[in-house]
Structure 1
Amino acid sequence: MKLRKTMLSVSIVAALGFAGSAMAQQTTAPEAAQAPAASSQEATDLDAVIVTGIRASQEKSLDTKRNAATHIEAVTAEDVGKLPAHNVADTLQRLPGVSTSSSSANEGGFDENDRISLRGTSPSLTQTLVNGHTIASADWFILSQTETVGRSVSYSLLPSEIVSQAIVNKTSEARFIEGGSAGSVNVITRKPLEFANQISAEGTLGAVYSDLAGSTKPQVSGLFNYKNDANTFGFMAQMFYQERELRRDGQEIVGGFLTIAPTDPVAATNPDLVGVKYPSLPGSAYFSQTRERKGGLLEFQAKPSDDLTLGLSAFYSDMDAANYNRNYMLHTGNFVPRVAPLPGYVVQDGTLVKADYAGAVGADGNPIGNGIYDMISRPESAAKTGYVTFDADWDVNDSFSLKSQIGHTKGEGSTPTQNIAEVVTGTSGGGWQVRGTDSTVNWYLNNPSGPTTAGFGTWGIQYFDVIDKEDWLNLDATWYGNGGVLSSINFGARYSQHSREVNSPYGSDPGNIAGALAGAPVGNYPNDFGSALGGSFPTNIWYFTQDALEQAVKNNSTVRKDGARENYASEFNITEDNTAAYVQFNFEGDNWSGNAGLRYVDVSQDIRYFDSVAGSGQAPDVVSLFGGFIRVRDKNSHQKVLPSANFRYNFGDDLVMRLAASQTMTMPDYSALAGSVSLSNLTHTGSAGNPELDPIISTNFDASLEWYFVERGLLAASIFSMDLDNYVKYGTVVRPYVNDQTGMIENYEVTLPVNSDGKVKGVELTYEQPIGDYFGISANYTYADGEADGGDALVGTSKNTYNVSGWFENDRWNARIGYTFRSSFYHGMLRANQYFQDDFGTLSASVGFKATDWLSISLDALNLNDPELSYYVADGHPQAFYNNGRQYYLNFRFKY
């Protein structure tokens, strides 16, 4: 009974809300936390004070914010692997001004956050650093690899176990690496000489249960740290191995909404339908995946003398992401333009929102297929990233110090195989009813075929490999003043060479795959498929098993490495040489401080890609089954001086005002720059790049007021604005290309990026307060108003984002709960349409128990409200709906 009462008390306390920051036993110097451009992090003497727990971690996070020279937000891990969530992005979304998304292209949302946005902007305008240096990006999903190749970093490759502290910089300084127009996130790892004890060891054994998949998978991590008695040498090793199984139930209107043309046969019988739109390929999409993430972090530190510190760091993260997607669809484009609907159809606001069709026979005398079914297996999808850095910090004398760093980072995303089977199912008619943008489309298919290879079509292996890498050298110096207003001067230089390349060198010619699949093993959608999405659509659906499909393709296709299947239209290579130099003056008075500086940046770009010669009459340089292409090479050069200034005034011990102004620069996304083309034969649409794009220059202003009215308490407000010159938005043109299925030259509506201008302005409000000795609450709200020229939407702008949370902690128990909401935002272009994600909110909670000084137990729950992620296009039509279920993490943490 006593245990039952205790658990009830914890549950009641948890319901009060969740405090969004936690902190590590190891701490980081404020200067290092706020300076992503620094080549190393200053160690903090942890022998003096050791702090643990939610309350101490919240206090440290607020102290970091309060003492920073610029406007920042901070989150600190309570202990190894004990961020307030199991994903760094999930944690950061609870900070004011930060929003997240769970996808980077048009693959739809998943169950964990993957990208970070700051202050209503695109993730590509937010720079992610690790210990102040860049980290290469990599994605496992093919659309993120080939179509939307941005400059944002996937947080799915950054486990919480490596994080000591994460700093969000909302204003800029001259010493900060350029690249984040909206700001930057600096993920800080632990360092060997920061540990209090000579030997430290920590480990976690746990499991994650995904309720929709009905699967439990292991989660293992460990840390060992050694430093000598003299604190002159240290070594730290971390490892992690984590599996997770995903299931996503979805409805997708794959083809969007098409328009009935005057030349379509149905126009003769139903002229009232000319110009009317109808849903193309509404489908029941069942996605399953196993993610296996493994890797580690090695850190060495040595102090040959009191004035010199050397560091060597290496990190590696590798995620296998095998997946299988099935999409069972109503093939409306095959019959709506040709066949009259049954009486009783409804046209509303130019859309055929309700219609029923009987089976019909085509001009060839054969029944018209009313359903089409795609099964796509990608058994080897993977992403990996890593870095190696060597740095040296030398305090030359009391007035001068030098820091240097040399580093290399490389990321790779690959899809070696796509096993695809497409079959026709059902010839007896069907129908649908559109119910608005926030409800699934009701649809049905009469008498669907069972396991069949009728009308079979397939694409076998088409290899894609995307490599992102950078080499760099930093040289930073600081001169310290001897009193007076000028406290110090920072100056230095940086050189880097960054490259991004997409390769698709070979594919396969399919053979008798249909014959191999005849009678092959099949499975069925889960019994509860789509139950959380609402509406009425097919759910009791068969599919060829993933193994059967893979074996049929493998045994009945010929891999062509002779260039015949090279997908030149998807390939490009961009190399950027970046040279930068800066000077920054730091000032300090009795109640104020500030800095002002200039950063000079010189970027040279070498952009190589292939352009189709379809319809141009030009002789091709290379030819494959995808058509003829010429090699294209563009070179650009961009120079810019970026000013910045920050001012801080302390009205008292507890009241801080900050003012900031700066210019920042971000290069356009790689896929926006490259001329590579991606086409859809189904909708005759596509996307292409524009190598003539200029960098995005943002002029930023920020003002904030922070009142630390009690210990661990904060009341803050800030206003901000960003004028985005050369902001990249999209237009459309019609171009001829070879249809790789028909071999004919056909016109495609292609989306192109163009330079424009944009603006974002907004307000942030923050409230944090302890309640008594054991409770605390936190809340923040961000308003962002952004638009591009012409009133177009700005990618990533949610007008309203808020977090409400609370926590409880005593000597043994702790509990946290939090809710995060983000209003709808423009996600990007899809088939020449603006593509939006609708409002959504997520609820998470955790309960922890400290059993002994060396053992603690935690239960964390994510997506407790089982959110639905929905998407729509600008003309008011629904696009997709997804449900990913809930996730529960049980962990046993051991500490020595």
Structure 2
Amino acid sequence: MKNSSHGPAAANQGGQTPTLKHIVAALAGAGLIGASAGAWAQTAPAAPADAAEAVPAVVVVTGVRNAAKSAQMLKKNAEQVVDSIVAEDIGKFPDKNVAEILGRVTGVQVIRQNGEAGNVVIRGLGGVVTLFNGREMFTAAGRNLFLADVPVAMLQRVDVYKTQGADMVEGGTAGVIDVRTFKPFDFKDGVVSFAGRVEHRDKSGSYDPNLSGMFSKRWKTGMGEFGALAGISYQRGRYHDETAWVSPPMKIDGGVTGSRAMGRVMGNGDRKRLAGNAALQWRPNRDMELYADVMSTKIDHVSQSIFFVGDLPIFKGGVVTKIPGTNYLNTITHPGASEFTLSSTQARDDYSMGTQGALGGRWNITPKLMATTELVRTVSNYRQENPIVDVVDFSVKPMSAGVRDGGGFLDYPGYDMGKPANWTLFGLFDNHNHSEGRSTDWRADATYDFESDGLLKELSGGIRLADRSAQYIREKDGYRPAPAGISAATLPGMSCLSARTSGDYGMSQFYAPCHTYLLSNTDTIRKAFGSPGRSAEDPLSSFKAREATTALYGKAKYGFELGSIPVDGNVGVRVVKTALEMDGFSRNGDGAPPSPLAIKANSTDVLPSLSVRAHFRHDLIGRFMAGKAIERGIFGDYNPGLTLNTPTPTTDAVGSAGNPNLKPQEGINLDMALEWYFSPTGSITTAVFSRDFKNFIRRKDELETHNGVSYRINRPHNTTEGNLHGVELAYQQFYDNLPGLLGGLGLQANITYMDGGLSEMDAATNKMVTNTFAGMSKISYNVVGLYEMGPWSGRLAYNWRDKFVAEYNYRGLGSNLIVAPIKTLDASLSYKIGKDVTLSLDANNLMDSPYNDYHGVAELPRDIRRYDRAIGLSLRWKK
């Protein structure tokens, strides 16, 4: 392949031109040379065949500087607006899972709970496609992969695409997250590595292992070159989360605005993840490569949430004080009240198993024509057992309560809240559900390189056929009230105490049913509540979906000179035909039996895209991107069935339903970027973006009457319109010119500003109103200090995101649920012992920062949540 006079190579003429060796080493470290055909197919450009023959396939990056250099090279050479995080070495990332890694990426925001980061949004939106080595990946009946389930031990890098090209898998209006793993040809020869880590969490008091190993080898034979890789990872994580909560505001004694109840949520769990991956590659000659790979993850997660509810004596003579200068409740006390007091253990046993296998290859048919193909099979299963037991205490007891440090303070001085005899069985929720997903995908692509200096540089096109199925079902009428007067002490094996609270929110411990007993002795619990056995499954919750998609794309790369400025890019279009069939159940009126219902929905979407890249200098690049993206609702959103809970003294009358008429969400995306790469590890980049949405999918509550009861029903809807706009700024540099030990310092910093929202008709005023996107912080930033000098390397990372609205019109009560700014500080320090062994110390949540949300104003809090601080010590060996 010839070098074009209009691309990045030509742009280097304005400055120092790196040697071929340096270019290849940088591309190799970034994973762009010698990758499997899965990387070539529709997501990344192929490496030139002559370059692959001229040098070893890939030299794996090691060290903080090289990881930063590789990530910067990926961003600079990408056709789209992309940010990447590259492994510093095999198994060496700054975090334990993919979701936590992404919290450092410009424009990406995460929420931590249950011992780790989980929820991920890009530029304030959750419409994210998750790929695994360029292939669509998902968890059970969902659309996306739960990223926290991917351990970092097997990762080469993670790419976050904020714009999409015609050759990329459709399905996300916010962006694409592509998780890339190592392949045998990524290494020059053979590699054996092992990593062991022990982690201590302060609130759970646990010491847990994290073990991983990988073997990779290449062989040259008379039949060509072969490569094989195998890896395994085991993680255990025991965690403790705690919450002090306050119920929604209302008028209480003396006209004060306060709450009806306060309480706790004490959560802890034991999560075990076992993951394995394997890959084979065969290159019979320079023009052909075949590969096979497989990845599988199994998660066993036993956990509990203990809810404590203490009603306040708000109309029974309690002494009330107000927060100075306000009419809001500060404290309430009573010498002896018989208010409703409840302890509820929600026990959960979650099991998830996901496997994806792929076969594929590439063939250089002629020096100008290359073809790739890939066949992928994905299987994912999930099930949950979720028994819940409520116990109550109506004894007369003194009470002291109030608002303290953003949460609810609740105490019963002089009364033993941990004594089983004080508690009575109240209710059983016999909950369970299971779901599964299957898919078979085939794709084929062809690329023709014109090898000319004309306007048209390359033509590519391809087809993708995907057959996806999903199904789900949950329990029906799982609630059973307890027979009157049965003491919790009659089931002695069920008696436990909650974990101690780390914050000062009143009582430290209280009685709670043991979650392990509930899971292991569910039948015994059922008998105590007079239940004949396991609750039946609810046909109205059930659905079986099959979705067939056919996607065709065409893309043309071009290049020309605008005056003295080289310009290149691509223009393309992707046409996607989607056929959805869903079998579910509906009910024709209150009290009618469920009747089967089949739904069919077909759509054809045309998704054009344009990329323009201007090389103002060898180190200064401008970009303009435009395109259309779609996002389909999750399968459950189309389920015609309406499921209603059984209203009880402790649960509201709520329900959920799908919307068979739901349309795909559409987004028109515009991005402009300017990127200055002033050194191999130094850059300043900025991007301005705009998103216009049509048929934006959101869920909202509406009141409906069923069987004479008013239920708050949650359904998905297509809103009228929406828009999002903002700007990102990122900076990276290593200060090599500083004297002595200071020369090891580096800095990464980024900030994102966003604004916009959804426009909808307000039913109360009959006027259009615009609200910001739920879950979107207008401002977020990261500051990461880096160090690498000799055998030492380190990282200190601070993340901050502005307040955001978690839910509008919370529970239909008129106020919005707002989350206060979130900040986290993490750190890591490594020392290389010889050339093969590295010792590392890392810490998360150093500041013990809480999560705090409130009902409209900070003086009316809902939750203060505190999570573990974790410290890990690890030893890595690589040969």
CA change 1:277–1:574 in 2 (3 A) is farther
2:180 is the alignment partner of 1:188:
yes
CA change 1:417–1:717 in 2 (3 A) is closer
2:411 is the alignment partner of 1:444:
yes
2:877 is the alignment partner of 1:894:
yes
CA distance in 2, matches of 1:245, 1:189: 27
**Alignment partner of 2:97 out of 67, 87, 93:** 87
Alignment partner, residue 530 of structure 1 = 502
Provide the identity percentage.
23
CA distance in 1, matches of 2:155, 2:27: 9
SS where residue 89 of structure 1 aligns?
helix
CA distance in 1, matches of 2:532, 2:277: 37
Alignment partner, residue 768 of structure 1 = 732
Moved more, 843-852 or 768-777: 768-777
CA distance in 2, matches of 1:617, 1:387: 43
SS where residue 60 of structure 1 aligns?
helix
Deviations 1:308-352 (A, max 9, x none): 2111111011111101221221135xx75xx44435465998866
CA distance in 2, matches of 1:714, 1:79: 22
Query: Where does 1:193-232 land on structure 2 (aligned, <5 Å)?
Result: 193-197=185-189, 199-230=190-221, 232=225
Moved more, 79-88 or 350-359: 350-359
SS where residue 61 of structure 1 aligns?
helix
**Alignment partner of 1:597 out of 572, 579, 604:** 572
Query: Where does 1:254-653 land on structure 2 (aligned, <5 Å)?
Result: 256-257=247-248, 278-332=258-312, 339-342=315-318, 344=320, 354-357=331-334, 368-378=338-348, 380-428=349-397, 430=399, 432-434=401-403, 439-445=406-412, 447=415, 449=417, 450-452=419-421, 454-459=423-428, 461-483=430-452, 484-504=454-474, 517-520=490-493, 522-527=495-500, 529-531=501-503, 534=504, 536-557=505-526, 565-589=536-560, 591-612=566-587, 616-617=589-590, 619-620=592-593, 629-653=594-618
**Alignment partner of 1:158 out of 150, 165, 176:** 150
CA distance in 1, matches of 2:268, 2:804: 26
Q: Is the 8 A contact 1:39 1:474 kept in 2?
A: no
CA change 1:458–1:551 in 2 (3 A) is farther
CA distance in 2, matches of 1:650, 1:506: 62
**Alignment partner of 1:78 out of 88, 94, 98:** 88
Q: Is the 8 A contact 2:841 2:873 kept in 1?
A: yes
Provide the aligned C-alpha RMSD in A.
Answer: 3.1
Alignment partner, residue 799 of structure 2 = 820
Q: Is the 8 A contact 1:130 1:187 kept in 2?
A: yes
CA change 1:244–1:617 in 2 (3 A) is closer
2:838 is the alignment partner of 1:856:
yes
What is the letter of the counterpart of residue 570 of structure 1? S
2:664 is the alignment partner of 1:695:
yes
**Alignment partner of 1:750 out of 713, 719, 723:** 713
What is the letter of the counterpart of residue 314 of structure 1? V
SS where residue 557 of structure 1 aligns?
helix
CA change 1:654–1:340 in 2 (3 A) is same
SS where residue 792 of structure 1 aligns?
strand
**Alignment partner of 1:239 out of 232, 254, 259:** 232
Q: What is the CA distance between 1:407 and its match in structure 2?
A: 0.9
Q: What is the CA distance between 1:701 and its match in structure 2?
A: 0.5
CA change 1:593–1:209 in 2 (3 A) is same
What is the letter of the counterpart of residue 568 of structure 1? P
What is the letter of the counterpart of residue 524 of structure 1? L
Deviations 1:732-791 (A, max 9, x none): 3222346xxxxxx52112233221121110000011111124221111100011211022
Q: Is the 8 A contact 1:213 1:245 kept in 2?
A: yes
CA change 1:618–1:557 in 2 (3 A) is closer
Q: What is the CA distance between 1:588 and its match in structure 2?
A: 2.1
Q: What is the CA distance between 1:680 and its match in structure 2?
A: 7.0
SS where residue 181 of structure 1 aligns?
coil
Q: What is the CA distance between 1:573 and its match in structure 2?
A: 3.0
Q: What is the CA distance between 1:235 and its match in structure 2?
A: 0.9
**Alignment partner of 1:881 out of 864, 868, 874:** 864
Q: Is the 8 A contact 1:24 1:165 kept in 2?
A: no
What is the letter of the counterpart of residue 139 of structure 2? S
| TM-score, normalization by structure 2 | 0.85
CA distance in 2, matches of 1:748, 1:648: 54
CA distance in 2, matches of 1:505, 1:433: 38
CA distance in 2, matches of 1:609, 1:249: 38
Unpaired stretches in structure 2, ≥5 consecutive residues: 1-25, 737-742, 760-768
CA change 1:48–1:788 in 2 (3 A) is closer
CA distance in 2, matches of 1:702, 1:31: 31
Q: Is the 8 A contact 1:384 1:413 kept in 2?
A: yes
Higher strand proportion (structure 1 or 2): 2
**Alignment partner of 1:68 out of 72, 78, 84:** 78
Q: How many residues align?
A: 808
CA change 1:47–1:466 in 2 (3 A) is closer
CA distance in 2, matches of 1:388, 1:881: 43
Alignment partner, residue 263 of structure 1 = none
Q: Is the 8 A contact 1:36 1:177 kept in 2?
A: no
2:125 is the alignment partner of 1:121:
yes
Query: Where does 1:719-758 land on structure 2 (aligned, <5 Å)?
Result: 719-737=688-706, 745-756=708-719, 757-758=721-722
Deviations 1:61-91 (A, max 9, x none): 1111111122211111011111122222222
2:102 is the alignment partner of 1:137:
no
Q: What is the CA distance between 1:842 and its match in structure 2?
A: 0.9
Q: What is the CA distance between 1:115 and its match in structure 2?
A: 2.7
CA distance in 2, matches of 1:459, 1:414: 20
Deviations 1:639-692 (A, max 9, x none): 111110000010111100000100100012334333443547322234332221
Deviations 1:126-185 (A, max 9, x none): 1110111111225xxxxxxxxxx8634311210111110111111111111111211111
CA distance in 2, matches of 1:881, 1:550: 29
CA change 1:659–1:509 in 2 (3 A) is closer
Q: Is the 8 A contact 2:344 2:512 kept in 1?
A: no
2:32 is the alignment partner of 1:29:
yes
CA change 1:65–1:564 in 2 (3 A) is closer
Q: Is the 8 A contact 2:266 2:499 kept in 1?
A: no
Moved more, 55-64 or 380-389: 380-389
Q: What is the CA distance between 1:293 and its match in structure 2?
A: 0.6
CA change 1:442–1:38 in 2 (3 A) is same
